[in-house]
A and B are shown apart, each in its own frame.
Chain A
Amino acid sequence: NAGVMQNPRHLVRRRGQEARLRCSPMKGHSHVYWYRQLPEEGLKFMVYLQKENIIDESGMPKERFSAEFPKEGPSILRIQQVVRGDSAAYFCASSSSIRAAKNIQYFGAGTRLSVL
């Protein structure tokens, strides 16, 4: 029973490049959440998706960031034209409908993005 899989674990990009972070939820989970953690800070909510739908993107920056969770395949967090301030750990979490109703989320190990 695989957990939430995120890849890559580490990603290095130069300023202006695009970063694509992937998240495969646990089997049977249709709810996906993305969080960002800056050094010495807690996790900041970015976006909540269900299959093919964005439910809540109130924590997502308005520009350069987008997220999707297609019918088939992993959820993707895309950051265009990265800047140094985007350097952070990005965590994905998934949940089943029952667990989502109790905000119980299962986290991946994260992707550490470094922007040079």
Chain B
Amino acid sequence: DQQVKQNSPSLSVQEGRISILNCDYTNSMFDYFLWYKKYPAEGPTFLISISSIKDKNEDGRFTVFLNKSAKHLSLHIVPSQPGDSAVYFCAASETSYDKVIFGPGTSLSVIP
């Protein structure tokens, strides 16, 4: 049973437009959420995180939104750049130091 779901395996976006990556979770004990980005043949890289006491966290072009009642979070990338093309993993944990549960990933392609 997948506790963290990313229902879109892939997404294509035009350069300069907004990319929206979605994530749903089932475990109501999750309290801390992260996004990681992964390029081929490399390990994942931490991108941004949010705790459940917030509903939004922003870092440059990246914003994560959390809707705890819907058990849903999303990552917005504005504007999208070709270098953003990668697999994006949504992840969650019960506390900020508990084990991390990863979703299956969404492959983002930003078309020049």
Among the stretches A12-20, A38-46, A62-70, A75-83, the one at the interface with B is A38-46
Verify B97–A42 contact, CB threshold 8 A: no
Give chain B nearest CB distance to A54 CB in angstroms.
Answer: 13
User: Provided the pairs A48-B99, A103-B34, A103-B93 are in contact, do residues A109 and B49 lie with their beta carbons within 8 angstroms?
Assistant: no
User: Provided the pairs A58-B99, A91-B43, A107-B44 are in contact, do residues A43 and B49 lie with their beta carbons within 8 angstroms?
Assistant: no
Tally of chain B residues near chain A (CB < 8 A): 25
Chain A CB within 10 Å — which of B36, B43, B44, B96 has the most?
B43
Complex: A42 Cα to B100 Cα, angstroms: 11
User: Interface range on chain A: under 10, 10 to 19, 20 to 34, or 35 or more?
Assistant: 20 to 34
Contact residue among B6, B44, B49 (Cβ-Cβ distance under 8 Å from A102): B49
Cβ of B42 under 8 Å from chain A? yes
Among the stretches B11-19, B54-62, B101-109, the one at the interface with A is B101-109
Query: Given the complex, which residues of A lie within 8 Å of B49, measured CB to CB?
Result: 102-104
Verify A44–B102 contact, CB threshold 8 A: yes
Verify A45–B104 contact, CB threshold 8 A: no
A-B residue pairs, 6 tightest by C-beta? A107-B43, A42-B102, A43-B102, A42-B104, A45-B99, A107-B44
